[in-house]
Amino acid sequence: MNMPLTLVVDDEPDILELLEITLGRMNIQTCCAENLGAARQLLAKQRFDLCLTDMRLPDGDGLELIDYIQERGLSLPVAVITAHGSIDVAIKAMKKGAFDFLTKPVDLAALRQLVNNALQTSQFQATGKDRRTRDILLGESAVMREIRSKIQKVARNQAPIYISGESGSGKELVAKLIHQQSPRSDKPFVAINCGAIPHELMESEFFGHKKGSFSGAIADKQGFFQAADGGTLFLDEVADLPLSLQVKLLRAIQEKKIRPVGEQLEVPVDVRLLSATHKELAKMVQEGSFRQDLYYRINVIELHLPPLRARASDIPQIATHLLARLAKANGLPVPELTESALKALMRYAFPGNVRELENILERALALHEGRCIEVEDLSLPAAEGQPAAEPDGVRAQAISLETYLANVEKKALVAVLKDNSGDKVAAAQQLGMTIRSLCYRLKKLGLE
């Protein structure tokens, strides 16, 4: 196999030499350019597998080089080298499409890691793997097509991605797809629900701990970062991170290093960070409950998943697909959704989005008789102002006990919330449960 070829753009001879020697030891050829003009000429003449560029160049900056490469449609990954502390420039570069960044003074271990990742990306693209995203993330609306194409694009670089959208709209599915489409796909995808970890254990869960660092630490333990090393770490419900951990996370992202609890030294980690929440993170930043600097770092690229009701044209396709999948999983023949059932689904608001659609179809699959699913089999929650259908005794025999109880519970929760004008704290009190448990149940039932 040919030796990979890297274009290094820097006007400092010392750095050029350091990069050339380091890359040479990795069996990588380098071609050097001392300014933008020379870099452009080389790019026009030959094909490179990777470009490493300094940000400040005598005749322009690294951002211009990224623009040039993008405009030409060249597919090589570009990594920028920025002065220490100028992480904002690195973020700008990644927003423009840079693969990753390094800060000066260049840490050689981090450089080698970055180069290996970038070359893997180059080769990965060349094989053009098609992982059939269309069959997994369903929907043919313009917005879903755009999301699928963005997934393909962002999977190729290392930029942190923030996935926003209502509960059940597909954020975790998108995160998984980004990982599966990336050159990291054969490394772990670690998904964490930040809201489910007790605050006092968070630091140790995220960064690991050393034996004896606190009572109960009976052995060395790896954290999520180490578990995801080489792969992707997906922080779901990132808005639920306490401020104390937000600071530590920020440092881990900036330095690409972590310090396990009770450990003196920091250890390098190679993790692609994806995060999501159904909460309005920008608003939380304004209110002071989420750090602005962290928000800025995790939100280098945002992917927004619109609620299902805003892409109602996708509902027939998603519903038909999911129904077929559910029937197959249950060893049942695939029923047809009648025209009126489809119309009713398209009119329904789906506060719980695709997850709720799945639940509705699962219930309908269990309830329906004959070869078709009718509107009544869907048991859609009543429209505003109309009483919800009573789960009666006859129905209770036809559906599973679990579904029956879920219906009863749903009805009770909605009624109590209504009584308390949507005040969850008061509703939880009236129901004799904690607010946490109420929120959990609302989410589980697709009522959030």
Ligand X SMILES: Nc1ncnc2c1ncn2[C@@H]1O[C@H](COP(=O)(O)OP(=O)(O)OP(=O)(O)O)[C@@H](O)[C@H]1O
Chain residues that interact with ligand X, rule: CB under 6 A: 137-139, 165, 167-173, 236, 278, 318, 354-355, 358
Give the Cα separation of 195 and 225 in Å (integer): 17
Give the Cα separation of 81 and 23 in Å (integer): 15
Going by C-alpha positions, the residue among 265, 249, 267, 254 that lies closest to residue 202 is 249
* Token pair recorded at residue 148: 């699928």
Nearer to ligand X by Cβ, of 107 and 409: the residue is 409
- The helix (H) or strand (E) run that includes residue 38 is helix 36-45
Report the nearest approach of ligand X to the CB of residue 314 (Å).
7
Report the nearest approach of ligand X to the CB of residue 232 (Å).
15
Report the nearest approach of ligand X to the CB of residue 132 (Å).
12
Report the nearest approach of ligand X to the CB of residue 295 (Å).
18
Nearer to ligand X by Cβ, of 355 and 441: the residue is 355
CA dihedral 347, 348, 350, 355 (to 10 degrees): -90
Nearer to ligand X by Cβ, of 294 and 354: the residue is 354
Nearer to ligand X by Cβ, of 65 and 177: the residue is 177
Report the nearest approach of ligand X to the CB of residue 197 (Å).
15
Tell me which amino acid residue 373 is: I
Nearer to ligand X by Cβ, of 172 and 409: the residue is 172
Report the nearest approach of ligand X to the CB of residue 237 (Å).
7
* Token pair recorded at residue 425: 């704290």
| C-beta nearest to ligand X: residue | 170
Angle of helix 424-431 relative to helix 435-444, nearest 10 degrees, comes to 100
Report the nearest approach of ligand X to the CB of residue 283 (Å).
17
Going by C-alpha positions, the residue among 307, 318, 301, 308 that lies closest to residue 278 is 307
Give the Cα separation of 61 and 89 in Å (integer): 11
Nearer to ligand X by Cβ, of 91 and 194: the residue is 194
Angle (CA) 214 220 223, round 5°: 90
- Cβ(97)–Cβ(70) under 8 Å? yes
Nearer to ligand X by Cβ, of 72 and 325: the residue is 325
